[in-house]
Chains A and B, each alone.
Chain A
């Protein structure tokens, strides 16, 4: 067992792995709560402006949102396959899958920003910048603001997740991981999946509340 991989305060490699996993789950719990606050805001305003929310949902580009959902789900498959490969000592396959996942991550961000661009063309911007109608209904503005806040925060997480996968893929290609030690692949993957899970909830909340 490579000596440097085991920090001196841990007794065994397994103890270290378990600590890493638990630490990641606790970190993911904080992320869940972070988005939880916004979900609570969405729920509250949905109660306050039920009709305005349906009105606001007409601004959504359902096709882009749906495409992005497929993209993210597929990227998650690649990430889990990368973890699977490294558990069988296949470093290059692992790095390849991670690169594919990153690529899909970029596709997601590209589509997302194209969608933002389209919104901006229409004037469907958040807060004080909203100018689709001269006298908009307050609930519609709040809906758009929530949309930008939630998808924006998600996009920031997506960017971080892509960077994380980039570092992990680089190290995997350099043969840094193997069957024994692959915590960064596994933990980075978990982060990616969580970002995916959050999108899975954002999708119906914004794109599917009113039939086109």
Chain B
């Protein structure tokens, strides 16, 4: 079974990876200071994913480990991905009901006008039919 440990990396590789990680961090910080609009988060996460992959593959020795270990880790990532995707499938496509009164901190804070719910037509204002 010794072949699972056969290809062992040298210390030089680790320092190289570290240099790459530092460079990527600097890059992502720099990009974070530029106005990228909607792309801000996706780009940040993409760079983070590259960095994380480097750490997992080399620092955590996943390249040297048995295939089952890779499978385990990949599975956990897939499951988190699906958890997020299906949750967003709800949040992204919901009926756009507005928030009812009395449910925001604005209503709960002392000194706010008394809560009244007398004219439903006000409340209904802004609800769109899909």
User: Are any A and B Cβ atoms less than 8 Å apart in their complex?
Assistant: yes
Q: Mark A4-42, 1 if CB is under 8 A from B, else 0.
A: 000000001011001001100110111011011101100
Interface pair A138/B76, CB less than 8 Å apart? no
Q: Can you name 15 extra interface pairs (CB under 8 A) apart from A21-B66, A29-B73? A: A18-B1, A21-B69, A22-B69, A25-B69, A32-B80, A33-B83, A47-B88, A47-B91, A69-B25, A73-B22, A84-B14, A135-B109, A189-B60, A201-B52, A205-B45
* Residues of B with C-beta under 8 A to A79: 59
- Interface SS of B by simple majority: helix
Interface status of B32 (Cβ within 8 A of chain A) = yes
* Residues of B with C-beta under 8 A to A35: 80
What is the interface size of chain A, counting residues whose CB is below 8 A from a CB of the partner? 60
Interface status of B8 (Cβ within 8 A of chain A) = yes
* Residues of A with C-beta under 8 A to B17: 77
Q: How far is the CB of B4 from chain A (nearest CB, A)?
A: 7
Number of A-B contacts (CB under 8 A): 159
Give which listed residue, B22, B35, B77, B90, contacts A32 with CB less than 8 A: B77
**Also in contact, A193 and B41, with CB within 8 A (given A47-B88, A69-B25, A211-B33):** no
Q: How far is the CB of A185 from chain B (nearest CB, A)?
A: 12
* Residues of A with C-beta under 8 A to B47: 204
B residues neighboring A (CB under 8 Å): 1-2, 4, 8-9, 11, 14-15, 17-18, 21-22, 25, 28-29, 31-36, 40-41, 44-45, 47-48, 51-52, 55-56, 58-61, 65-66, 68-69, 72-73, 75-77, 79-80, 83-84, 87-88, 90-92, 104-106, 109, 112
Pairs across A and B, CB under 8 Å, 10 listed: A21-B66, A22-B69, A33-B76, A44-B88, A69-B29, A77-B17, A81-B14, A84-B9, A190-B61, A211-B32
With A and B bound together, what is the CA distance between A46 and B1 in angstroms?
47
Chain B: which residue is nearest A77 at the CB level?
B18
Interface pair B48/A29, CB less than 8 Å apart? no
Give which listed residue, A22, A76, A135, contacts B105 with CB less than 8 A: A135
**Also in contact, A28 and B73, with CB within 8 A (given A200-B48, A204-B41):** yes
Q: How far is the CB of A142 from chain B (nearest CB, A)?
A: 11
With A and B bound together, what is the CA distance between A84 and B79 in angstroms?
32
